[in-house]
Structures are given as structure tokens and as C-alpha cells.
Amino acid sequence: MAGLEVPTWDPETALLIGAILIEAVILYVGYGGLERLVGPKLMNILVGGQDDAGQ
């Protein structure tokens, strides 16, 4: 039957997919942490009002 074969995985392909997934998780966690550290200060600077203007 056509289309019902089980695909074979090349070990290099599986390693590449795993590396991409790990990289995505690291970037997601890293940018989330960066947003928590820098986000509130940046928002105060951008929309904080006239008190922060010129500083």
C-alpha cells in the first residue's frame, strides 16, 4: 500500500531536529528572563511620563 510505510530516521537528522528544539527552548527561557529583568525599567522609560524626560 502506498503511503503506509514507516519512515526511517537518519541519526544526523534526528540530532539536528533535537538541537533545534533545544535551542528554541533555551531562547524562549532566555528571552523570558530578559523581559522580566529589563521590561519594567524599559516600559517606565518609554511611557513613564514627563518625570523621566531628558534623563
14-44 confidence digits (pLDDT tens): 899 999 999 999 999 999 999 999 988 888 8
Residue 41 identity: K
CA angle 45, 51, 55 (to 5 degrees): 60
For the entire predicted model, the pTM comes to 0.59
Question: What is the per-residue pLDDT for 54?
Answer: 53
- From the list 28, 24, 4, the residue with the least C-alpha distance to 16 is 24
What's the residue count for the chain? Answer: 55
Helices (H) and strands (E) in the chain, counts: 1, 0
